[in-house]
Structure 1
Amino acid sequence: MKDQALWERIDAHPMPKGFIDALTAQSGWTRDRAEETVREYKRLAYLVALVKTARRVPSTAVEQVWRLHGEDRSAYQSFCSEALGRDWHLPDGPVPRRGGRDMELTLKAYAREFGETAPARIWPDPNRRVRLGIAGGFAAAGAAGSVAASSVGPVLAGGALAALILWLGNRGSVEAGDHWWYLPGGDVGFDGSDGGGGDGGGGGD
């Protein structure tokens, strides 16, 4: 971890009184899941604070914590100034979805800083739809080949390739039924000034 003191300051900063209760009521999550997602929110905050020029983006679940936190302006401003040491502006309105590169870089930075893969149920796979499409194509091609050749070989081969693609995805951060959300282009998550949008932070993503 590049800045242990920064992480300890963020991790130790208290959330507003009654925050977990409000989060469980809003989201329908269990208390354990709500507490886990708050921790993941703080991990994102660390990644955001660590390198200003890197665009780090939240998963849907983490964004829900971020927005609820932002509703308490005083507590949120205290978190930004005392824990992060800088502003971290919430985007106005719905956060648009974009290509997967920003999320992929976020997840790589997460693994590098925390020494583990982001938990799949909080950070689902940004390329899940693409992978499902490719896997489905292999399976369909195999089925068509089997019909044409009157053999089970092609369908077995296609099914095996599809399963391999899905398995490789499951080795990372994958969760069915979720989507990725991104910060608007040009917004690095602090003050709206884009320091180039690069990854930064060294180590190479």
Structure 2
Amino acid sequence: MKDQALWERIEAHPMPEGFVELLVARTGWPRDRAEAAVAEYRRLAYLVARVKTARQVPSKVVEQVWRLHGEDRAAYARFCGEALGRDWHLPDGPFPRRSGRDMELTLKAYAREFGETAPARIWPDPNRRLRLGIAGAVAVAGAAGSLATVSVLPVVAGGALAALIVWLGNRGSVEAGDHWWYLPGGDAGFDGGDSGGGCD
């Protein structure tokens, strides 16, 4: 971790009283999942505060924690000012950049900073649907090839390749050491902007 003092401020900063209980009531999650989600929210906050111009994307679970925290404007403003040392604006409406390259880079930054991969229970693979679609297409192509050639070899090869694609995607490994994706300051949801509830 590159900024231990920042992490200690974020980790030690109290959430509003009864926050986990309210999160459980709102989401229906068991308490242990709610507590894990709050811990991952703190990690996202660290990533955002660590590099002010880097876009970091929350998972759906982390976004729910962020939105609930943002409802208590005074507590959220204290968190931004005292723990993060910067503004962190929450976009209005659904978060627009959760899949693809943005999320991959967030997960790589996570692995680099925390020395471990993000837990799949809170941070699911952003490309899982795409990978499953490709695997399905390969399996269908193998079956079609078997029908066309009256041989089992294409269907076996297609099935094996499809299984490999799925297996590689489920390994949960995000390699550290890739670069950050920099964007200009002022990107809504990260460095200010006029997108609603944020630290003022």
User: Structure 2-normalised TM-score?
Assistant: 0.87
Letter in 2 for 1:187: A
User: Structure 1-normalised TM-score?
Assistant: 0.85
The CA deviation string for residues 91-132 of structure 1, in whole angstroms up to 9 with x for no partner, is 112222465111111000000000000000110111112111
Figure out how many residues of one structure are paired with residues of the other and give that number. 183
In the alignment, which residue of structure 2 is the partner of 1:81?
A: 81
CA contact (8 A) 2:146 2:155 kept: yes
In the alignment, which residue of structure 1 is the partner of 2:124?
A: 124
**1:192 counterpart = 2:198:** no
In the alignment, which residue of structure 1 is the partner of 2:106?
A: 106
Determine what percentage of the aligned residue pairs are the same residue. Answer: 78
CA contact (8 A) 1:125 1:173 kept: no
CA contact (8 A) 2:48 2:55 kept: yes
Letter in 2 for 1:190: D
The CA deviation string for residues 180-201 of structure 1, in whole angstroms up to 9 with x for no partner, is xxxxx932513139xxxxxxxx
In the alignment, which residue of structure 2 is the partner of 1:177?
A: none
CA contact (8 A) 1:48 1:189 kept: yes
CA contact (8 A) 1:119 1:173 kept: no
Name the SS for the 2:108 alignment partner.
helix
Change in 2 beyond 3 A, CA 1:24/1:44: same
- Following the alignment from structure 1 to structure 2, what is the Cα–Cα distance between the partners of residues 8 and 186? 26
CA contact (8 A) 1:56 1:188 kept: no
In the alignment, which residue of structure 2 is the partner of 1:54?
A: 54
CA contact (8 A) 1:37 1:61 kept: yes
Name the SS for the 2:8 alignment partner.
helix
CA contact (8 A) 2:40 2:62 kept: yes
Structure 1 segments of 4+ aligned residues over 4 angstroms from their partners: none
CA contact (8 A) 1:143 1:154 kept: yes
- Following the alignment from structure 1 to structure 2, what is the Cα–Cα distance between the partners of residues 118 and 72? 27
Letter in 1 for 2:37: T
CA contact (8 A) 1:53 1:188 kept: no
* Structure 1, unaligned runs of 5 or more: 175-184, 194-205
Output the aligned Cα RMSD: 1.8
Relative to structure 2, which stretch is displaced further, 53-62 or 95-104? Answer: 95-104
Name the SS for the 1:107 alignment partner.
helix
Letter in 2 for 1:143: A
CA contact (8 A) 2:142 2:157 kept: yes
> How far off its partner does 1:54 sit?
0.3
Alignment of 1:135-150 (within 5 A): 135-150=135-150
